[in-house]
Chains A and B, each alone.
Chain A
Amino acid sequence: MTSEWGAENLYVSYGKIVALDGVSLSAPPGQVTAVVGGDGAGKSTLLRCLAGALAPDSGIVRRPDKHRLGYLPASSGIYPDLTVAENLDFRAVGYGMPARLARERAAEYLERAGLTSAAGRLAGQLSGGMRQKLAVIAAMLHHPELVVLDEPTTGVDPVSRSGLWWLIARAAAEGCAIVMATTYLDEAERCSSVLVLDGGTMIASGTAEDIVAAMPGSLRPAVAKPDGDAARRAWRRAGQWRVWDPGGAKAGQGERQGGDPITPDLQDAVTVAALAWGGAA
């Protein structure tokens, strides 16, 4: 019996719409795995399958039983008309935590998330960032082995985001396996492995370095937007245009016409993967 959680070859469809097609994910303990993709890419569907809120049409999901799993759904899963403390209380009782342990741990987590002064406030009156911090604490309160977080940092201000990340890092350091969905690539870079989804398919996976190294073709700078067919393979970034050349040599492997190739980073690699999948090659 392996202790590695994850999913293999998931297929999920809602009527005619295919939400996930052959997606696999591995969530080793003590590490944070990122799932990246835009709206509609299938991140939420994947995480729901992993957490057990949705049954896939086919495929295998390996997850612990409900007592050892924590979940943060896309819409926070927090009761707005209960206070911060009452929300945590509900979770504690729901997961069968003994009262004293629940109290102590809640106090500790609230302290670390900087929410102690807000303990008596209605959750609906918290700012977005504070509510997400509460939601993350609530998902981890019972020390689960697998924590599934659906976009915990989207729309959250940078200061709260760093607080959230601290909570996540802490849990990972204690051996928890964490899967989180995000649209921020700089966050994905912080995770030990990344899975990129687009339209329900995996378009890239591995560590950030692996994904960059696996990027096909090369990137060239351009002064202005190119015409014709190349326009579909070009995008603007930091005031500069870049064109993807699918068959080109990698940066540092000899010269071709045009400027020096740009050394790609994760954002470039992901953009290229999206273009390739969209048939721009």
Chain B
Amino acid sequence: MSSLASCVEVTRRFGTFTAVNRVNLEVGPGEIVGLLGANGAGKTTLIRMLLGLLSTSEGDVTLFGEPPSRQTRRRIGYVPQGLGLYDDLSPAENLEFSEAVFGPGATPLPDELRSYGRELVGSLPLGVQRRIAFAQALSHHPDLLMLDEPTSGVDPLGRARLWETIAEAADGGAGVLVTTHYMEEAHECGRLVVMAAGRVVAEGTAAEIIGGRQVVAVEAASWSAAFNALESAGLQVALAGRGLRVPGADPAEVRRSLGDLPAVVREVPATLEERFFELTEQAAASEAA
């Protein structure tokens, strides 16, 4: 598989601080790759290097087989978090501008968006704005799509519709790199890359990354009493509906800390988020070591 974007042992330092540390990443045609990571994990720096906005300290970044350049930029569709649209222009005018910059041959606005053609982007609801930003990014038929938090703030139905567009692009042969904070969206990606402290700490599908890990779930008659008991025992506790979850502890320990409190203690599969924290904390610990 010839990759559209690849990072080989890419490292970037700012003074004594290493933002990205020997990262290997590949995005092939038709793939949807999700980049997960806390703030400061190095995601933004990595993206900027892929876009050619930042040079690497070590390692190689290739786009379509060559180093990033203005030519490769033409083949990328990038939707930043702020959407990159002009609020005080209409969608049609935004598209005209984009077309003039990227060159002719752009597809016009899809039908359902055409009805918004005359209004100012700034006055449209967020979900519609995002769809327009997508349509614009896709209009010059990019081979690689880079999307930064593409569905932040959108309701579930709107998110599903946005993901349909992304999936269509991937089906059409484009490669997609998505950064996201929504764990729900992580499941939309064919492959996940988890970054922490500048390194890649896990890669694979969501199921592979969770890898059968389990977590203790507690259902107690009085959840606040249980919460306090577990807290004072020094355990990390998280809310879960009417119950609690205790990652990083074994059932016996939890049972002990609860003492006589009436509660049901079970082991359940971990969520991607819990596994993500585990990995992030491990990375932070080994960084400090």
Tell me, yes or no, whether A and B come into direct contact in the complex with CB atoms closer than 8 A: yes
In chain A between 233 and 273, which residues have their CB closer than 8 angstroms to a CB of chain B? 235-239, 267, 270-271
Query: Of B160, B190, B238, which one neighbours A236 at CB under 8 angstroms?
Result: B160
Q: Are A275 and B157 in contact (CB under 8 A)?
A: yes
The chain A residue sitting closest to B281, CB to CB, is A159
Given contacts A173-B224, A235-B164, contact A40 B38 (CB under 8 A): no
Q: Which residues of B contact A155 (CB under 8 A)?
A: 81, 149, 152-153, 181
A56 at the binding interface (Cβ < 8 Å): no
**Bound-state Cα–Cα, A39 to B190, Å:** 27
Given A159-B277, A274-B157, A208 and B241 contact (CB-CB distance below 8 Å): yes
B positions within 8 Å CB-CB of A: 36-40, 81, 125-127, 149, 152-158, 160-161, 163-164, 167, 181-184, 187-188, 190, 223-224, 227-228, 231, 237-242, 271, 273, 276-277, 280
What is the chain B residue whose CB lies nearest that of A184?
Answer: B182
Contact of B160 (CB < 8 Å), options: A32, A170, A271: A271
A124 at the interface (CB under 8 A from B): no
Q: Please state if B153 and A183 are interface contacts (CB–CB under 8 Å).
A: yes
Please report A residues at the B interface, Cβ cutoff 8 Å. Answer: 30, 32, 36-41, 127-129, 151, 154-162, 165-166, 168-170, 172-175, 183-186, 189-192, 198, 207-208, 225, 235-239, 267, 270-271, 274-275, 278
Pairs across A and B, CB under 8 Å, 7 listed? A38-B156, A157-B37, A159-B38, A162-B273, A173-B227, A190-B240, A236-B160
Q: How far is the CA of A227 from the CA of B277 in the complex (A)?
A: 42
Given the known A-B contacts A32-B239, A162-B277, A237-B160, are A183 and B154 also in contact in the complex, defined by CB atoms under 8 Å?
yes
Determine the chain B residues whose CB is within 8 A of the CB of A275 once the complex forms: 157
Instruction: Flag if A198 contacts B155 (CB, 8 Å).
Output: yes
**Considering the complex of A and B, which 9 residue pairs feature the smallest CB-CB distances, nearest first?**
A38-B155, A39-B126, A235-B160, A157-B39, A159-B38, A274-B157, A173-B224, A173-B227, A40-B125
> Distance in Å from the Cβ of A215 to the closest Cβ of chain B?
13
Q: Report if A274-B155 is in contact (Cβ < 8 Å); known contacts: A38-B126, A208-B241.
A: yes
**6 additional contacts (CB under 8 A) given A170-B227, A278-B157:** A128-B39, A158-B36, A158-B280, A172-B239, A189-B241, A192-B242
Q: How far is the CA of A184 from the CA of B228 in the complex (A)?
A: 26
In contact, A190 and B241 (Cβ under 8 angstroms): yes
User: Which residues of A lie under 8 Å from residue B161 when comparing CB positions?
Assistant: 235
A263 to chain B, nearest CB (A): 16
A143 → B minimal CB distance (Å): 15
Contact present for B239 and A168 (CB under 8 Å): yes
B269 to chain A, nearest CB (A): 14
B160, B182, B224: the one within 8 Å of A172 (CB): B224
CB of B184 within 8 A of CB of A207, answer no
State the CA gap A38–B158 with chains docked (Å). 8
Complex CA distance for A27 and B125, rounded to whole angstroms = 28
CB-defined contacts of A165 to chain B, threshold 8 Å: 238-239
Identify which of B156, B181, B241 gathers the most chain A CB atoms within 10 Å of its CB.
Answer: B156
List A contacts of B241 (CB < 8 A). 189-192, 207-208
Nearest CB to that of A183 among chain B residues? B153
- A201 to chain B minimum Cβ distance, whole angstroms, is 13
A237 contacts B126, CB within 8 Å? Answer: no
Which of the residues A39, A157, A158, A225 comes within 8 Å of B125, measured between beta carbons?
A: A39
Tell which of B81, B158, B227, B277 touches A158, judged by Cβ atoms closer than 8 Å.
B277
